Structure 1
Amino acid sequence: MQNRNDIIKTLTFCYFLIAAFEIIAEYVIAKSFICTLKPLITSTLIVIYCLKSDKKSKLFILVLGLSLLTNILFIPNTPSFLFYALVVFSIHRMLAIYLIFSLQKIKDFIPVAIATAPFLLIFFYLFMETPDIPEQSYYLLVIQNVLISLFAGISLSSYVMDDNKQNSILLISALLFVMLQFSVFIEKYFLTNEYQEFFRPLAMTFNTLAFFTFYKYVITAEKSADND
């Protein structure tokens, strides 16, 4: 057991070290390093989860696998690859929300709806104020806005209704994912080809922290279920 914990700690250090190099690579736009490091980040997290979890949820591994594929599709930074990345990420986000519903004890959906509404207003305001959204990505972005708002709404309402460790970690993860979506949306659609040296490293930072926090949430929720 101690040996496994040591391996997990070492891999966790490697996860953040790889992420740090990836953030630097995004800043200097080193394509060869980006192509290598970006998939390696998620792959490392999958290994960490498989070592840490006793349940080894296939659904969570699939969620991480789709995130890995999305990151690969984002690398070329072309409209066609961006479209495919949005398709894969939409499926990823749907499965992530389904996973949360399977781990959370949500009995009343009215607080979820109330908590989701402000996020919908913010995301759709930004969406409507953004010029030149590609026609093929229009409906996918609408779906993305709904999904991230629902994700955040579930997290916020769960935290307000029951402030425990599991819900606190979920809320932190959701807020990081919200900031990730903001930064990616602004970079890809609102300020196209402007300030990429700022937004791409920022998005990668949010991505690294959001997925690691979501992993911590899943582990905490699994342990909580075992204790019930």
Structure 2
Amino acid sequence: MNKVKVLTVVLFIIAFIEVIAEYFRIIPLIYVFKPLISIVLMLLYWLSSTKKETLFFLTITTSLITNVLFIPNDLKFIFVGLIIFVFHRLINIYYILKVMKTKDFIPVVLASVPFLIVFFYIFFDTDLLTKEVYYIMIIHNSLISLLGGIALSHYIMNDSSRSSWLLICVLSFVTLHFIIFIEKFYIELQIFRPIAMSLNAFAYYAFYRFILIIERSNSN
């Protein structure tokens, strides 16, 4: 437990340094600390979990790869990163559905509608998307809306600690997705990157807590 506590503090220190690095665009620090967040999170899960689910490591690893590909702000790397991120999101959704044992998908679909309306309204309101990115963004908007629907429906139908952590995680992802889209296609502000990085780090920490709660409750 002491190792877990120390590593948790280390994780937030690393995240704080990364946020500062993003604000001032200190690229060498970003290349070190951005992937380090994912590495420390996986180590934290390894020490905390008795199950050590492969899907957790696969989720965080694909996130790590996309985070690194997004650093150079080069369209080629971003395009590859977006493709890998689709697989990341699919793994993420499958993992959540699996551990939450979701059987009734009607509430999920209904809860996804508000997210779909917001994201696709913003999406169709811009004409700056290239042909290659256009279709990938449709997939991304659909997947993040589905993820939002899963979290919201479970929270409404069963308000528990696991549902709360899942909702916190997913709302952080949704806000992150919204900020990145606004920054890339509407207005670029210096403050957007550190906010996005803060949300990213907190979202995955919340995801880690969500998975741990489920694993421990299943063990009990």
Q: Give the total of aligned pairs.
A: 220
Return the alpha-carbon distance in structure 2 between the equivalents of residues 106 and 27 of structure 1.
39
Q: Quote how far apart the aligned CAs of 1:213 are.
A: 0.2
| Structure 1 residue aligned with 2:13 | 17
Question: Deviation string for 1:10-41 (max 9, x for gaps)?
Answer: 11101110110111011111011111110111
* Counterpart amino acid of residue 198 in structure 2: T
TM-score (norm 2): 0.98
Question: CA contact under 8 A between 1:19 and 1:41: conserved in structure 2?
Answer: yes
Kindly indicate whether residue 219 of structure 2 is the aligned counterpart of residue 226 of structure 1: yes
Match of 2:39 among 40, 43, 63: 43
What is the percentage of aligned positions where both structures have the same residue? 45
List aligned pairs for 1:91-130, cutoff 5 A.
Answer: 91-130=87-126
Question: Deviation string for 1:147-200 (max 9, x for gaps)?
Answer: 000001000000111111111110111100101101111112222xx21x1111
Question: CA contact under 8 A between 1:66 and 1:88: conserved in structure 2?
Answer: yes
List aligned pairs for 1:198-213, cutoff 5 A.
Answer: 198-213=191-206
Q: Which runs of 4+ in 1 moved over 3 A?
A: none
Return the alpha-carbon distance in structure 2 between the equivalents of residues 222 and 15 of structure 1.
21
SS at 2:191 equivalent: helix
| Structure 2 residue aligned with 1:66 | 62
Structure 1: 5+ residue stretches without partners = none
* Counterpart amino acid of residue 62 in structure 2: L
Match of 1:88 among 80, 84, 88: 84
Return the alpha-carbon distance in structure 2 between the equivalents of residues 164 and 101 of structure 1.
16
Question: Deviation string for 1:48-94 (max 9, x for gaps)?
Answer: 00110000000110100001001100100011111111111110000
Kindly indicate whether residue 196 of structure 2 is the aligned counterpart of residue 214 of structure 1: no
* Counterpart amino acid of residue 56 in structure 2: F
Return the alpha-carbon distance in structure 2 between the equivalents of residues 42 and 107 of structure 1.
31
Structure 2: 5+ residue stretches without partners = none
